[in-house]
Amino acid sequence: MPESTHHLRSFLSGRLGASAQRSHWAWILASASGILAHSLHAQPPAFQHPPKLVVGIVVDQMRADYLYRYWSNFGEGGFKRLALKGAFLRDAHFDHIPTETGPGHASVYTGTTPARHGIVANDMYVRSTGRTRYCAAGTDTTRAVGLDSLIGKRSPLNLLATTISDELERRFEGRSRTIAVAFKDRGAILPVGRTGDAAYWFGGGTDGAFGTSTWYQRELPVWVQRFNGERLASAYLGRTWDLLIPREKYHAALPDDNSFEAPLPGAASATLPLDLNALHKASGSTGVLAYTPWGNTLTTDFALAAIDGEELGADSITDLLAISYSPPDILGHRMGPRALEIEDMYLRLDQDIARLLEELDKRVGQGRYTVFLTADHAAPDVPAFLDSLQGSAGYINAKELERGLSESLAKRFGPGRWVRAIINEQVFLNDSLITARKKDHEELQRAVADHLLREPLIAEALTAMDLARFEYTDGARRLLQRGFMPQRSGDVLFTYRPEHFEPYLTPPTRGTTHGSGWTYDTHVPVLFFGQGIRPGNILRRASITDIAPTVCAIVGMALPDACSGTVVTEALVR
């Protein structure tokens, strides 16, 4: 018996007779039951009044620890507002290999892994042609709209599962407005999916315009034409990039001038201040904006223009705005995660997010929209930097690796080009030669995996036969399997040891990359904020695939068709 009930009964027993006690007690219980029933009846399920707008934010190449490291320099209205007044999943990870932009964006919005949604890499090797196919490549009939023909011929054709956007369109019979924007085309296309209203990406060039492809539209809406006519990209490039706050307040582990960072294209050194106008004039292109914080600012400008132009969140039908901030990845590849420039970019991105939230409060209404923020992958430290600290890190010579494997297979199976390609840490065998020599395909796969596992810098290698036959539930094997699709993946998948990867730049000691299943690549922030969200820290392990079903629960709609994630119940108001 609850203590409060016990005290109440004691009070009554001291003042009433037995018959009166029973009568009063029955009256109290009946009244309480009535109040409870009325309360339940008076509060309809939250999904009956869904948010007017869902805003999905993906920051390209954002490590979870950036929130911790830069916290003291953030303002109150951006990342801090999301973390303190929203639900902060502090141990969220990608559950697949490879951790790249295309697979990452697709996984966030489909709620599943590459094994199911089909985007197994940014550039996928096609056995029939011996070439790679870009994850957001268009069809033969796809044409650019408002962009250069090459970068405009894009589509979600390779995406094999529905997204939040697709399901939202179905939930409201096509009345939802679903719009995506990013500098990178794949950062806009994969979130909005096959049936979203529009994906817009940055065209660079002399105009710095945003455009789309005929998969979505035949011509740009008037509001997009008007936005492009303002030529904001050129205006932002007319300034100097210097530090936002006093230098001594930054948390950079290295001096600004060091041997582990690569300069921006056309710059003499990887240091600030940087004359963006000079780089702009030298290159003749607005593309240099993608390496700067004002690439994020321009993305925010366009997102706000989309809210007005498409009237997002203006009625009771839930709309979706998917924003991907690409510049942190584009700069991060050249600088690595300890650079002064990276922290400065995030401090300025913090201001852009604060501006976005403030405008959402005004235009949609505070408490009437829901936001989630995450990343498509994180990033490792520059191996040369770790090596200078006597850490375990280094670079892989991919040509030597392929040469050694080819020699091993030739000794066992005879001369010939047994390996057709090694790409994305996958080995593709020469099917024609295997058939012509009447060799057993599985035996060749096993020989490749055995050879790779003898290499000291390879942590795991699995054959396609085993990945298709068995279920792996732990470690690198699990992550490899969740990134494996038989029709699009190699004969053998492998992964390197922590902090070892193929060089991204020349010289190889500068810059960083990503793609592995180690925590520096998988651990990203997940923040939910706004309508339907219960504030608090969630410390249990979570998957990035949990974002989509959680959003679907808030809106009250079907999960994406291949969704494998689960609702983060601790984050929801119930």
How does pLDDT run across 70-87, given as a tens digit for each residue? 999 999 999 999 999 999
Q: Does residue 550 have an active-site annotation?
A: no
Evaluate if residue 190 carries a pLDDT over 80: yes
Which of 376, 275, 279, 385 has the alpha carbon at shortest distance from 323?
A: 376
Strands (E), 183-229: 198-202, 210-213
Fold designation for 397-456+458-496: Gyrase A; domain 2 (3.30.1360)
Length of the chain: 574
pLDDT at 8: 34
The DSSP bridge pattern shows strands 144-145 and 210-213 to be antiparallel
Domains of the chain: which residue ranges?
Answer: 48-379+524-571, 397-456+458-496
Which of 500, 76, 30, 552 has the alpha carbon at shortest distance from 318?
A: 552
Distance of CA 37 to the CA centre of its chain: 43
Which of 227, 230, 331 has the alpha carbon at shortest distance from 288?
A: 331
Do the beta carbons of residue 114 and residue 485 sit within 8 Å? yes
Evaluate if residue 5 carries a pLDDT over 70: no
pLDDT at 38: 47
Question: What is the CATH architecture assignment of 48-379+524-571?
Answer: 3-Layer(aba) Sandwich (3.40)
Q: Put residue 563 in one of left, alpha, beta given phi > 0 → left and psi -120 to 50 → alpha.
A: beta
What is the C-alpha radius of gyration for the chain, rounded to an integer number of angstroms? 27
At residue 47 the predicted structure's pLDDT band, cuts being 50, 70 and 90, is: confident
pLDDT at 41: 52
Evaluate if residue 259 carries a pLDDT over 70: yes
Q: Can you tell me the mean pLDDT for 301-313? A: 98
Evaluate if residue 34 carries a pLDDT over 80: no
Pick the catalytic residue from 99, 101, 214, 374. Answer: 101
pLDDT at 574: 80
At residue 149 the predicted structure's pLDDT band, cuts being 50, 70 and 90, is: confident
Mean pLDDT rounded to a whole number for the chain = 93
Compute CA distances 270 → 23, 79, 259, 340, 342, whole Å: 83, 27, 9, 10, 11
Q: Can you tell me the mean pLDDT for 8-32? A: 44
If DSSP codes are grouped into helix, strand and coil, which group holds residue 395?
Answer: strand
Evaluate if residue 63 carries a pLDDT over 80: yes
Q: What is the pLDDT of residues 523-560, one digit of tens each?
A: 999 999 999 999 999 999 999 999 999 999 999 999 99
Q: Can you tell me the mean pLDDT for 8-36? A: 44
Which of 198, 84, 214, 88 has the alpha carbon at shortest distance from 146?
A: 214
Q: 3-state SS string over 84-117?
A: HHCEEEEEEECCCCCCCHHHHHHHHHHCCCHHHH
Evaluate if residue 302 carries a pLDDT over 60: yes
Torsion of CA 292, 298, 304, 310, to 10 degrees: -130
Token pair recorded at residue 295: 């690439």
Q: Which helix (H) or strand (E) holds 523?
A: strand 523-530
Which of 224, 410, 218 has the alpha carbon at shortest distance from 301?
A: 224
At residue 6 the predicted structure's pLDDT band, cuts being 50, 70 and 90, is: very low
Give the number of other Cβ atoms within 10 Å of residue 386's Cβ: 17
Do the beta carbons of residue 422 and residue 401 sit within 8 Å? yes
Of 31-45, 265-279, 543-557, the poorest mean pLDDT is in 31-45
**Percentage of residues in the chain with pLDDT exceeding 70?**
93
Evaluate if residue 2 carries a pLDDT over 60: no
Evaluate if residue 162 carries a pLDDT over 90: yes
Evaluate if residue 507 carries a pLDDT over 80: yes
Helix pair 327-335, 340-360: axis angle to 10 deg: 170
φ and ψ of 212, to 5 deg: -150, -160
Give the number of other Cβ atoms within 10 Å of residue 469's Cβ: 8
pLDDT at 12: 34
pTM: 0.92
Evaluate if residue 250 carries a pLDDT over 70: yes
Evaluate if residue 19 carries a pLDDT over 50: no
At residue 26 the predicted structure's pLDDT band, cuts being 50, 70 and 90, is: very low
Of 15-24, 316-325, 377-386, 445-454, the poorest mean pLDDT is in 15-24
Do the beta carbons of residue 290 and residue 328 sit within 8 Å? no
At residue 492 the predicted structure's pLDDT band, cuts being 50, 70 and 90, is: very high
Evaluate if residue 343 carries a pLDDT over 70: yes
Strands (E), 229-376: 240-241, 274-275, 319-325, 369-375
